[in-house]
Amino acid sequence: MNNKTENNVDDAALVERVLRGDNTAFGTVIKNTEGLVAQIVFKMVSRAEDRKDIVQDIYLKAFKGLKGFKMRSKLSTWVGNIAYNTCINYLEKKKLVLIGDLYERDYDSDENVYPAQTTNHEADAFIVGKQLSAMLAAEIEKLPPLYKTLVTLYHNEELGYAEIGQITNLPEGTVKNYLFRARKKLKENILSQYKKDEL
């Protein structure tokens, strides 16, 4: 049995237990998804005092909506989608900007997603150096909420483009495009910071 099938079987059994009234089963749902939910909420919501309420709201929605879960994705992906949508609603209510320009043209093909560019090998080597991890974390925090979330889901949670697309309701091409832009912005910010520090 492959991993995906195993996950679906485990998810189906877990959902069935919750729907039968097994309270510990929903505790397991929370335990299995709290890392992913925390990553999404912490990257999209900057106000620490609002995060706890948002997380509670996410799990309340998940609990109420569980009977409608159709097993078309992993349970964690479904909960991640609820988390993402709840954060989007929060940002819209607060009139906060999700990314710099919401109307930027999307790129459909991979060659447009990753346009040809000249690379400075010395700069690239510097960026991947271990001494930059603290600066990198700080610069990630400065990105717009959507970019920050995508970078975290891809690099920290190690999710693929398809699963990130399911969580964020974005086409895979758009996920790739936004990740490219986020990385480009990170690189520019880190290099400018490095040059500033050298002055």
Tokens at 95, concatenated: 């009139």
Contact at 8 Å (CB) between 99 and 144? yes
Topology given in CATH for the domain delimited by 110-198: Arc Repressor Mutant, subunit A (1.10.10)
* DSSP conformation class of 27: H
Angle separating helix axes 75-93 and 3-19, nearest 10 degrees:
70
pLDDT at 28: 92
- Every domain of the chain with CATH number 1.10.10.10 lies at 110-198
What dihedral do alpha carbons 189, 192, 193, 198 form, nearest 10°?
Answer: 160
Selected from 1.10.1740.10, 2.30.110.10, 1.10.150.130, 3.40.50.360, the CATH number assigned to the domain covering 3-93 reads 1.10.1740.10
Contact at 8 Å (CB) between 123 and 137? no
Q: pTM value?
A: 0.69
pLDDT digits (tens, 9 = 90+) for 65-77: 998 888 888 999 9
Contact at 8 Å (CB) between 163 and 77? yes
* Residue 92: strand, helix, or coil: helix
pLDDT at 197: 55
Low-confidence ranges of the chain (pLDDT < 70): 1-9, 96-136, 194-199
* DSSP conformation class of 154: I
pLDDT digits (tens, 9 = 90+) for 73-110: 899 999 999 999 999 888 888 776 566 543 333 333 33
* Residue 109: strand, helix, or coil: coil
- Every domain of the chain with CATH number 1.10.1740.10 lies at 3-93
